[in-house]
C-alpha cells in the first residue's frame, strides 16, 4: 500500500481499532494465563513434578510482570510477544509432561488459537510454525527422549493434524479480518481523496487536481505540439445573490451553473473549481475550464461565448431570475506561457480586465495585461517589504471652513518610502493592497499613527478639529474592524467625536447586511463617517438615509468640472449640495484648485473645502507650523 497522506490516516485509524481489541485480549488472557499457570504450577509441585512446577510458577511470575508493564506503558506489541512466549512454554510443558492422564495435549489447541489472535497475520504464521515445528520435533524425532510421558503414534498424528486444521482455520479468519480492515482503509482513502481533490458542493475537481492535471496536460501538449486554452471564469453579482437570498440559494446557483457549464463544453474539456471550500463563501464563484488541443486561440473565444450565453435572458433558480453574468479571462499555451502557474495568473489577470471592462464579456491575455501583472507583483512585493520595515508615513492635508477659512479638520494620506515603490502613490498601491489582503494591516497602521498624531495635535497644538482617516471598503466586510477601532481609540485615549472615517462611496453595496452592520457599529462608537469620492458611485440617493453617514465628500472631478461645458457634470456639485441639505449632512468639497472654484463653493453654502489652492498635503512639521497662531 502506498503511503499517501490519506492511506496513512486510514492505517492509523485501523491500527487504533485493532490495538484496542488486542490490548483487551492481551489483558484478559494474561490474567487467565497467570491464574492457570499458578494453579497448575502449584499442583505440579504438590504432585512432586518439581521441574514442571517451577517452570509454570516462573511463567506465572513473568505473566504478572507482563500485566504490570502492559498497564503502565500500554505497549500491546511487547505484551503480545511476552504472552506468546508464556503460552509457548506452557503448551510445551503440557506436551512434555502429558498433563493429567495425558490430556495436556488438548489444552494446547485453544492456547495456540489464542496465540494467533493476539498477533497480526504474519507474526501469527511465525508463531504457529514455531509451535508446530517444536511439537513435531518433540513427538517424531529423537528429541522425544525429553518427553516425560509416552504418546502412541496415532495420538501424535491426530494431535498434529488437528493442530494444523484448527490453526489453518484461525489463520484464515485472521487474514480475512485484516482484508476487511484494508478495504475499510481503501474506502476511507477514497473519501479523503474525494474531499481533498474535489469541491464538495459541485463535485468538480478543485485546485489541487487542477494543478496536477494542468502540469500533465502541458507535458503532453509539449510532446504533441498542441495548444491548450485556459478559461478563468468569475461570476458577476454572485455576492448579491448570497447577500439577498442567502448562502443556500447561492449554493444552488453555483450548482446549476456548474451543470450548465458542463453542458456547453466538449467531453474532452475539463472544468475545475479552483477555490477551496474554506474560501467558497467569499470567492466560490470562480471556475476554470481547460480546453485541450485547440487549433487557435480564437477557438477558446467560441467556448467563452457559449458560456456567456448561459446567462442570456436571466439565470433562473428556484423561480427567481438572478441578474448574474460572467467575466472570463483566457490564456493560451504555449502562446502566452509554458509555465502552468503563470498561465493561471495570466487567465486570472485577463479575467480582471474583463471585469473592469464592463463585465459580462471575455478578454484574452495581452502584453498590456502582462505589464500590469508584472507591475502588480512588484507593488505587492514592495508593500510586504514596506510593512516589514516600516516604510510608511503620513502626510497631513488641512481641511478649511468655507466661511472663515479656519482649519477645521485634517485628512491623513498615506505615503510609502519603500525604494521598490518609488513613484507609486496610494492610488496605485492601495488597490493592490486590497486585492492581496495587506490592506487590513495597512489600515490599522494608518489609524494607529493618525490617532497618535491627533493626541499630540490636541495636547501640544491646541487643535480641536477632526482627524479624517481613509479606510478601505474591505473593512466594511471585516467583522473585527469596529472592535479594532474601539481598542485603538481607547489605547490612544482619543475622543471618538474628533475622528472621521472616510470610505469611498463605491464600497457600498445596496442591501449588504455585513456592510451596514459594520457602519452601525462604527457609528455607535461615536466616530463620524464620510462618504468619499461621492458622486462617482451608484448610490441611489434615497438609499442615503439608510447609511449612518455624517458627511459627503464631493469627488474632486466634479469640482474640477464646475465651469466645464459638460452639462451633466457641472451641475453635480450643486445637486450634491442640495442633497446634503435635504439629509442634513455636512459637505466637503475636494480638489479645490482655483480661487474661482472656492468663491463658487462659498456662495453655494458648502461647509468645508480642501485642495491644492488652499494647501497641499503637508509633512508633520509643516502642518504643525501651520497651526501656530
Ligand atoms: P482620496 O481619499 O480622495 O484623497 C484625496 C486625494 O486627492 C489625495 O491623493 C490628495 O493628495 C489628492 N488631492 C487633494 N486635493 C487635490 C487637488 O486640489 N488637486 C489634485 N490634483 N489632487 C488633490 P493621494 O494622497 O494620492 O490619495 C489617493 C487615494 O488613495 C485617496 O483618495 C484614498 O482613496 C487613498 N488613500 C490615501 N491614503 C490612504 C490611507 O491611509 N488608507 C486608505 N485605505 N486609503 C488611502
Ligand atoms: Ca479621502
Ligand atoms: Ca476623495
pLDDT digits (tens, 9 = 90+) for 378-387: 999 999 999 9
Whole-angstrom distance, CA of residue 210 vs CA of residue 262:
16
Complete DSSP assignment for 235-296: EETHHHHHHHH-HHHHHHHHHHHHHHHHHHS-TT-EEEB-S-HHHHHHHTTEEEEEEEEESS
Residue 200 per-residue DSSP state: T
Query: Per-residue confidence at 112, pLDDT binned at 50, 70, 90?
Result: confident
Q: Which residue minimizes the CA distance to atom 24 of ligand 1? A: 426
Query: Per-residue confidence at 171, pLDDT binned at 50, 70, 90?
Result: confident
Which ligand is closest in space to the CA of residue 395?
1
Q: Give 380 Cα–ligand 2 centroid separation in angstroms.
A: 22
505 Cβ below 6 A of ligand 1: no
pLDDT of residue 231: 94
Q: Give 411 Cα–ligand 2 centroid separation in angstroms.
A: 7
Report CA-CA distances (Å) from 36 to 19, 59, 91, 159, 405: 25, 10, 12, 22, 105
Query: Per-residue confidence at 30, pLDDT binned at 50, 70, 90?
Result: confident
Whole-angstrom distance, CA of residue 360 vs CA of residue 325:
5
Does 500 score more than 70 pLDDT?
yes
Which ligand is closest in space to the CA of residue 593?
1
Query: Per-residue confidence at 192, pLDDT binned at 50, 70, 90?
Result: low
Can you read off the three cell numbers belonging to residue 575? 445637486
Q: What percent of the chain has pLDDT over 70?
A: 93
Does 49 score more than 60 pLDDT?
yes
Whole-angstrom distance, CA of residue 13 vs CA of residue 546:
55
Q: Give 341 Cα–ligand 3 centroid separation in angstroms.
A: 37
Which residues, 6 or more positions from 415, have their beta carbon under 8 angstroms from its beta carbon? 392, 393, 394, 395, 425, 426
Whole-angstrom distance, CA of residue 550 vs CA of residue 527:
10
Residue 502 φ then ψ, to 5°: -105, 125
- Cα-Cα-Cα-Cα dihedral of 345, 348, 350, 352, to 10°? -130
531 Cβ below 6 A of ligand 1: no
pLDDT of residue 511: 64
Of 587 and 73, the structure prediction assigns the larger pLDDT to: 587
Strands 586-589 and 551-554: parallel
Can you read off the three cell numbers belonging to residue 346? 495570466
Contact 473, 504 (CB under 8 A): yes
Contact 288, 274 (CB under 8 A): yes
617 Cβ below 6 A of ligand 1: yes
Contact 613, 592 (CB under 8 A): yes
413 Cβ below 6 A of ligand 1: yes
Query: Per-residue confidence at 2, pLDDT binned at 50, 70, 90?
Result: very low
Whole-angstrom distance, CA of residue 528 vs CA of residue 498:
8
285 Cβ below 6 A of ligand 1: no
Q: What is the largest CA-CA distance in the chain?
A: 129
Whole-angstrom distance, CA of residue 272 vs CA of residue 561:
48
Q: Which residue minimizes the CA distance to atom 20 of ligand 1? A: 591
Query: Per-residue confidence at 457, pLDDT binned at 50, 70, 90?
Result: very high
616 Cβ below 6 A of ligand 1: no
Contact 450, 442 (CB under 8 A): no
Of 612 and 169, the structure prediction assigns the larger pLDDT to: 612
Least confident of 231-245, 277-291, 529-543, 559-573: 277-291
pLDDT of residue 204: 82
Reference 407, options 587, 554, 626, 241; nearest CA is: 626
Residue of 410, 430, 433 to mutate, ligand 1, most atoms within 8 A of C-beta: 430
pLDDT digits (tens, 9 = 90+) for 424-435: 999 999 999 998
pLDDT of residue 8: 52
Contact 218, 240 (CB under 8 A): no
Does 191 score more than 90 pLDDT?
no
Whole-angstrom distance, CA of residue 417 vs CA of residue 426:
11
Query: Per-residue confidence at 181, pLDDT binned at 50, 70, 90?
Result: confident
Which residues, 6 or more positions from 188, have their beta carbon under 8 angstroms from its beta carbon? 6, 9, 10, 13
Contact 325, 235 (CB under 8 A): yes
Does 10 score more than 60 pLDDT?
no
For the purposes of burial, counting CB atoms within 10 Å of the CB of 603, is it exposed (0-12), middle (13-18) or buried (19 or more)?
exposed
Least confident of 16-25, 65-74, 612-621: 16-25
pLDDT of residue 196: 66
pLDDT of residue 149: 83
Q: How many CB atoms lie within 10 A of CB 234?
A: 20
426 Cβ below 6 A of ligand 1: yes
Does 129 score more than 50 pLDDT?
yes
Q: Give 506 Cα–ligand 3 centroid separation in angstroms.
A: 11
Contact 254, 275 (CB under 8 A): no
Contact 101, 158 (CB under 8 A): no
- Report the run of H or E that residue 503 belongs to, with start and end: strand 499-504
Of 62 and 247, the structure prediction assigns the larger pLDDT to: 62
472 Cβ below 6 A of ligand 1: yes
Q: What percent of the chain has pLDDT over 90?
A: 46
612 Cβ below 6 A of ligand 1: yes
Which residues, 6 or more positions from 391, have their beta carbon under 8 angstroms from its beta carbon? 385, 416, 417, 418, 421
Mean pLDDT of the chain: 87
pLDDT of residue 434: 92
SS3 225: coil
pLDDT of residue 75: 82
Residue of 413, 446, 561 to mutate, ligand 1, most atoms within 8 A of C-beta: 413
Q: Across-strand partners of 327? A: 234
Whole-angstrom distance, CA of residue 206 vs CA of residue 287:
9
Which ligand is closest in space to the CA of residue 500?
2
Catalytic residues: 285
pLDDT of residue 540: 60
pLDDT of residue 276: 41
Contact 146, 50 (CB under 8 A): no
- Cα-Cα-Cα-Cα dihedral of 361, 365, 371, 377, to 10°? 90
Least confident of 217-226, 297-306, 485-494, 566-575: 566-575
- Report the run of H or E that residue 411 belongs to, with start and end: strand 407-416
Reference 572, options 586, 588, 582, 561; nearest CA is: 561
Distance from CA of residue 309 to its chain's centroid?
32
Q: Give a three-class secondary structure readout of 479-491.
A: CCHHHHHHHHHHH
pLDDT of residue 13: 61
Residue of 425, 470, 596 to mutate, ligand 1, most atoms within 8 A of C-beta: 470
Whole-angstrom distance, CA of residue 604 vs CA of residue 612:
20
pLDDT of residue 439: 96
pLDDT of residue 509: 65
Q: Give 505 Cα–ligand 3 centroid separation in angstroms.
A: 9
Of 459 and 534, the structure prediction assigns the larger pLDDT to: 459
Which residues, 6 or more positions from 116, have their beta carbon under 8 angstroms from its beta carbon? 124, 127, 128, 167, 170, 171, 174
Strands 407-416 and 392-401: antiparallel
Query: Per-residue confidence at 539, pLDDT binned at 50, 70, 90?
Result: low
Amino acid at each position: 500500500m502506498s503511503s499517501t497522506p490519506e492511506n496513512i490516516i486510514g492505517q492509523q485509524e485501523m491500527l487504533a481499532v485493532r490495538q484496542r481489541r488486542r490490548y483487551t485480549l492481551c489483558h484478559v488472557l494474561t490474567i487467565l494465563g497467570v491464574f492457570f499457570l499458578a494453579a497448575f504450577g502449584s499442583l505440579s509441585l504438590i504432585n512432586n513434578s518439581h521441574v514442571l512446577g517451577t517452570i509454570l510458577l516462573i511463567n506465572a511470575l513473568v505473566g504478572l510482570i507482563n500485566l504490570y508493564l502492559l498497564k503502565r506503558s500500554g505497549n500491546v506489541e511487547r505484551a503480545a510477544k511476552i504472552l506468546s512466549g508464556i503460552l509457548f512454554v506452557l503448551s510445551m510443558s503440557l506436551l512434555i509432561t502429558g498433563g493429567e492422564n495425558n490430556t495436556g495435549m488438548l489444552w494446547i489447541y485453544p492456547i495456540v488459537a489464542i496465540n494467533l489472535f493476539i498477533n497480526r497475520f504474519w507474526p501469527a504464521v511465525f508463531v504457529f510454525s514455531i509451535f508446530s515445528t517444536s511439537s513435531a520435533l518433540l513427538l517424531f524425532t529423537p528429541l522425544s527422549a525429553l518427553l516425560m510421558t509416552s504418546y502412541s503414534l496415532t495420538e501424535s498424528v491426530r494431535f498434529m493434524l488437528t493442530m494444523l486444521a484448527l490453526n489453518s482455520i484461525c489463520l484464515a479468519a485472521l487474514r480475512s479480518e485484516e482484508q476487511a480492515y484494508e478495504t475499510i482503509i481503501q474506502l476511507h482513502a477514497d473519501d479523503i481523496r474525494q474531499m481533498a481533490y474535489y469541491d464538495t458542493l459541485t463535485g468538480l475537481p478543485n485546485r489541487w487536481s487542477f494543478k496536477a492535471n494542468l502540469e500533465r496536460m502541458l507535458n503532453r501538449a509539449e510532446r504533441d505540439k498542441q495548444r491548450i486554452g485556459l478559461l478563468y471564469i468569475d461570476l458577476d453579482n454572485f455576492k448579491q445573490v448570497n447577500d439577498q437570498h442567502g448562502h443556500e440559494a447561492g449554493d444552488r446557483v453555483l450548482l446549476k451553473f456548474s451543470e450548465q457549464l458542463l453542458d456547453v463544453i466538449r467531453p474532452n474539456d475539463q472544468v475545475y473549481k479552483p477555490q477551496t471550500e474554506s474560501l467558497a463563501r467569499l470567492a466560490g464563484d470562480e471556475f476554470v475550464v481547460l480546453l485541450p488541443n485547440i487549433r487557435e486561440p480564437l477557438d477558446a473565444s467560441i467556448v467563452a461565448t457559449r458560456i456567456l450565453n448561459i446567462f442570456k435572458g436571466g439565470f433562473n433558480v428556484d423561480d427567481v431570475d438572478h441578474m448574474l453574468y460572467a467575466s472570463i479571462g483566457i490564456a493560451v499555451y504555449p502562446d502566452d506561457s509554458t509555465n502552468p502557474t503563470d498561465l493561471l495568473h495570466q487567465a486570472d489577470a485577463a479575467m480582471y480586465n474583463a471585469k473592469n471592462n464592463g463585465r459580462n464579456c471575455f478578454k484574452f491575455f495581452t502584453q498590456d495585461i502582462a505589464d500590469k501583472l508584472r507591475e502588480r507583483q512588484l507593488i505587492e512585493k514592495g508593500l510586504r517589504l514596506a510593512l516589514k520595515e516600516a516604510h510608511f508615513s503620513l502626510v497631513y492635508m488641512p481641511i478649511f471652513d468655507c466661511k472663515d477659512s479656519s482649519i477645521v479638520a485634517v485628512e491623513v494620506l498615506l505615503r510609502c518610502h519603500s525604494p521598490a515603490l518609488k513613484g507609486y502613490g496610494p492610488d496605485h498601491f492601495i488597490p493592490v493592497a486590497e486585492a492581496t489582503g495587506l490592506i487590513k494591516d495597512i489600515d490599522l497602521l494608518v489609524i494607529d499613527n493618525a490617532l497618535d498624531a491627533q493626541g499630540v495635535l490636541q495636547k501640544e497644538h491646541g487643535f480641536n478639529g477632526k482627524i479624517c482617516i481613509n479606510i478601505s471598503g474591505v473593512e466594511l466586510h471585516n467583522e473585527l474592524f469596529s472592535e479594532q477601532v474601539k481598542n485603538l481609540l481607547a489605547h490612544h485615549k482619543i475622543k471618538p467625536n474628533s475622528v472621521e472615517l472616510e470610505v469611498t462611496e463605491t464600497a457600498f453595496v445596496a442591501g449588504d447586511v455585513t456592510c451596514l452592520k459594520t457602519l452601525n457599529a462604527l457609528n455607535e462608537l461615536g466616530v463620524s463617517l464620510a462618504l468619499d469620492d461621492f458622486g462617482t458611485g451608484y448610490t441611489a440617493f434615497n438609499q442615503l438615509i439608510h447609511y449612518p453617514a455624517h458627511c459627503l465628500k464631493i469627488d474632486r472631478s466634479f469640482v474640477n468640472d464646475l465651469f466645464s461645458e459638460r452639462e451633466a457634470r457641472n451641475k453635480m456639485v450643486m445637486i450634491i449640495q442640495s442633497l446634503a441639505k435635504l439629509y442634513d449632512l455636512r459637505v466637503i468639497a475636494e480638489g479645490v484648485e482655483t480661487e474661482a472654484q472656492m468663491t463658487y463653493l462659498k456662495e453655494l453654502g458648502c461647509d468645508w473645502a480642501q485642495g491644492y489652492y488652499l494647501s497641499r498635503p503637508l509633512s508633520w512639521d509643516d502642518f504643525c507650523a501651520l497651526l501656530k497662531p
